[in-house]
Homo-oligomer: A and B are copies of this chain.
Amino acid sequence: MRIGELAALVGVSTRTVRHYHHLGLLPEPARLVNGYREYRLRDAVVLARVRRLAELGLSLDEIRDVLADDRGRELREVLEELDAELARQQAALAARRARLAALLARPDLDPDATVSPDLAAVLRDLPTGGSAFGALDRELLTLIDTGADEDARAGFAELLRPLTETAALDRGRDLYARLDALATADPTDPRVADLAAHLPAGMATAMTTTAEDPATARWWQSMTQEMSPAQAEVFRQLLLVLRERP
């Protein structure tokens, strides 16, 4: 048998057969005078063995070990390990499919919608209309959500939920508008101190929590660098006040 026949018989490519030779999975058979490899039934048996194990999902390295082990119990160990690995993959696949299904169920699908479901609900209700500061805020929220783990995400969304109630929405819109107005203002502008002093309690709590939480403090810092000096000054003063009387 020549390599093409062997390959066709077992159902692989000649390239695969040569690859297995290269890896030492399949012994090199005798050569004819013209240099062609000459295979016997025994080689097909070994090749088929390799294939069956490969189709189960073993890596070629593992297959080499199993075959070298010569009738040992190594096979059982490897297969049990493999099964555990496959179980992990199944769980991961199921989780990904669940997230996909949740995404696909939404009509307003865009790359930013791929945040956690909790935050997605918050973002849907939060006012954004035209406010530059609102857009920045959404960026921050999205980033925090992406970086956080499961628990942090839930607590984070919980913190924000009160802000999406009808009464809070108007105040939120108002807040964004007043911050937008400070985009080109001086940090000493009287509106700065006024805003810091009269921020609604729920919003102030949410802000200081994100700003003080060590896990999100760095996000907050990045965000302040994107603000105008006057806007940043509002939050600096706010934090000073809230640190003294929590």
Contacts and interface: CB of A to CB of B under 8 A. Distances in A.
Interface residues of A, number: 61
Interface string A40-65: 11101100110111011100000000
Interface centre among A55, A56, A97, A146, by most B CB within 10 Å? A146
Contacts of A89: 93
Nearest to A223: B41
A111 B53 contact: yes
A236 to B, nearest CB: 18
B100 A94 contact: no
Q: How many copies does the complex hold?
A: 2
A186 to B, nearest CB: 23
Interface of A: 1, 5, 8-11, 40-42, 44-45, 48-49, 51-53, 55-57, 66-67, 71, 73, 75-76, 79-80, 82-83, 86-87, 89-90, 93-94, 96-97, 99-101, 103-104, 109-112, 114-115, 136, 139-140, 142-143, 146-147, 218-219, 222-223, 225-226
A97 B104 contact: no
A64 to B, nearest CB: 12
Contact of A41 (B103, B110, B136): B136
A104 B86 contact: no
A76 B109 contact: yes
